[in-house]
Amino acid sequence: MRKGEIQLSWLLVGSLIASTGTSFVWPLTTIYVHDYLQQSLTTAGIVLCIESVVMIIGSYLGGYIYDRSNSHQWLLASIGLSMSSMFVLIFFNGWPAYPILLIINGFGGAVANTLINSLATSIKKYDSRYVFNMLYFTANVGVVLGTLLVGFIIDISIHYVFLVTFILFLLFFIIAKKYYSNPTKEAREQNQKKNNKATVKTGTRNIIIIALILLTYLAIQIGYSQWQSNLSVYMQSLGIAVRNYSLLWTLNGLLIVLGQPLVNYVDEHFNVNEYTKIYVGFLLFGLAFASLIFAKDYAHFILSMVVVTIGEVITFPTISSLVNKLSSVAEKGRFQGFVSMAASLGHAVGPLLGGVIIEMGSYEMLFSCMVILVVFSGSACVVLTGVRGKRQKN
């Protein structure tokens, strides 16, 4: 292992702990604001939208920090910010303390997440596909653990939810402080020169390719956010219980946990072109959104979730890996920040856009618009990057 290079094992442990802690909070937001704090669903939506916007800012700041300084202290500060907000929530979790502290936690988490992904780009011991696949795997194991445990803990007391989350963030802070060293800006630039890379800037063609990929990623996230917002209301209108809707997310997590090792195996033994993987993923998302147009019973929603999850497993970590390979050493943080920003932007505008389309038309119109959005952006990406994809050297 290179001097100063972070160990992948500790990066994965931290990702698992942070994801578990975060998963204690996000499933409760709408329910807690509406049922516990007696606020309207519109108010809950505004809170989530503001949090997403703040996370976009945090993602950009995280990338900016990584490219311009030794980000270790900034990482500790961002984790500390999330940790402090959870500690205060143990004692002050009413209105408006809850949404304010939730937004502060979201900002700290966005900065930390971008810094973690940027740190992952500095690992040279493993191929970047493996690194980001494993990060995605451990993060989703955390989602499964968090969403499963929070239901039991909240039945005891909401205070314990914030207490457990605080303890998890504290563990994450300790691990980051001890094990998360990272190369300084100067060291990265020296490494770039040793690799005979004449410029610290990412090439124009690569920037265009990254932009096209992230445009499609944004379209997918806008559609994906419907699963976490408007789709729950739609399923209830069809007589499908909320419990069954929640089970779809358990299925999502389990499929990711089971499917990611298979993706790693395929990558290791067959060296599949990364462009091909994201093209297949784009197709699967388009098919999954199209299937929702005809979904009227629970079996169809299960099928659609399975297709969405397969697309997610193939596409999401590959996008981070491919963006890493296309960006210059000096701009790794910046472009990993753009990946996080695309996801946060999709989750910020998706529920609102979906609500507007539903009010103006119907759920079927919403799903049709999502298909058109993904097909249009995905087709443009495939056409304009296809030659590059064929020429990629893995």
* 266-286 average pLDDT score: 87
* 187-211 average pLDDT score: 68
Domain residue extents for the chain: 1-196, 199-394
Residue 384 exposure: Cα atoms within 13 Å on the Cβ side: 17
Cα separation of 108 and 59, whole Å? 9
Residue 197 pLDDT level (bands cut at 50, 70, 90): very low
Residue type, 96: P
Residue type, 196: N
Residue 266 has pLDDT above 80, yes or no: yes
Residue type, 386: G
Residue 1 has pLDDT above 60, yes or no: no
Residue range 231-259, pLDDT digits in tens: 877 887 888 876 777 778 778 888 888 88
Give me the pLDDT at residue 242, please: 65
**CATH code assigned to 199-394:** 1.20.1250.20
Rg of the chain in Å (alpha carbons) = 20
pTM greater than 0.85: no
33 phi-psi bin (left φ>0, alpha ψ -120 to 50, beta other): alpha
Give me the pLDDT at residue 386, please: 65
Residue 390 pLDDT level (bands cut at 50, 70, 90): very low
Cα separation of 382 and 370, whole Å? 18
Residue 377 has pLDDT above 80, yes or no: yes
* 34-60 average pLDDT score: 82
Residue 303 pLDDT level (bands cut at 50, 70, 90): very high
Tokens read off for 20: 């578990």
Residue 389 pLDDT level (bands cut at 50, 70, 90): very low
* 215-244 average pLDDT score: 84
Residue range 60-77, pLDDT digits in tens: 898 888 877 768 889 999
* Residues 19 and 136: beta-carbon distance below 8 Å: no
Residue 201 has pLDDT above 90, yes or no: no
The values of phi and psi at residue 365, to 5°, are -65, -40
Residue 107 has pLDDT above 50, yes or no: yes
The values of phi and psi at residue 127, to 5°, are -65, 145
Cα separation of 310 and 324, whole Å? 22
Q: What distance separates the 2 farthest-apart alpha carbons in the chain?
A: 63
What average pLDDT does the chain have? Answer: 84
Helix ranges (H only) for the chain are 8-22, 29-31, 41-68, 72-91, 97-121, 128-156, 158-179, 185-194, 204-227, 230-237, 242-270, 274-292, 298-326, 332-360, 363-391
Output b/e per residue, 49-88; b: 16+ Cβ within 10 A: bbbbbbbbebbbbbbbbbbeebbbebbbebbbbbbbbbbb
A 10 A CB-CB count for 225 gives: 24
Has domain 1-196 been given CATH number 3.40.50.2000? no
The contacts of residue 250 (CB under 8 Å, 6+ apart) are 144, 147, 148
Cα separation of 121 and 334, whole Å? 12
Residue 356 pLDDT level (bands cut at 50, 70, 90): confident
Most confident of 20-29, 187-196, 354-363, 366-375: 366-375
Higher pLDDT, 198 or 32: 32
Residue range 147-188, pLDDT digits in tens: 778 777 877 888 898 999 999 999 999 999 988 876 555 555
Higher pLDDT, 197 or 24: 24
Give me the pLDDT at residue 321, please: 87
Cα separation of 82 and 79, whole Å? 5
